Amino acid sequence: MIPALCECGNRTFLVFLDDEVGVAARVCTACESEAGIADSDEHSDDVEVVEQAQCSCGSVVFTVATGFALDSGGGVRWVSVGLRCTCDGIAGAYVDGKVDDAPTAHLLANT
């Protein structure tokens, strides 16, 4: 898992996602900059409904980590986005999906 870090140095985010399409974006709680996670920017045109991630406690602020399953050649074959609530610490996988496109090395930098 690779933890998300905003360019401003902040580690907490609001997260918007479409689990059906498998896309997610994080918005920094400090500077409000937005970044797509993994290949989400490439698939944003396919999104019909975007939901804001929310913990069962009601909080919408999370730390974010992205996990990658690699094939024998080092290419990304699966991506999972994990969130940990900053209020109660509960963690879960909110978005995951298979990667069919190649090359995939750029995905490792988009956490």
Record the pTM: 0.80
Q: What is the pLDDT of residues 6-31, one digit of tens each?
A: 999 999 999 998 877 778 889 999 99
Neighbours of 49 (CB within 10 A): 8
β-strand 13-18 against 34-36: which pairing, if any?
unpaired
The pairing of beta strand 51-52 with beta strand 13-18? antiparallel
As a whole number, the mean pLDDT across the chain is 83
Whether 55 has a pLDDT exceeding 90, the answer reads yes
pLDDT band at 63 (very low <50, low <70, confident <90, very high): very high
At residue 102, the pLDDT reads 63
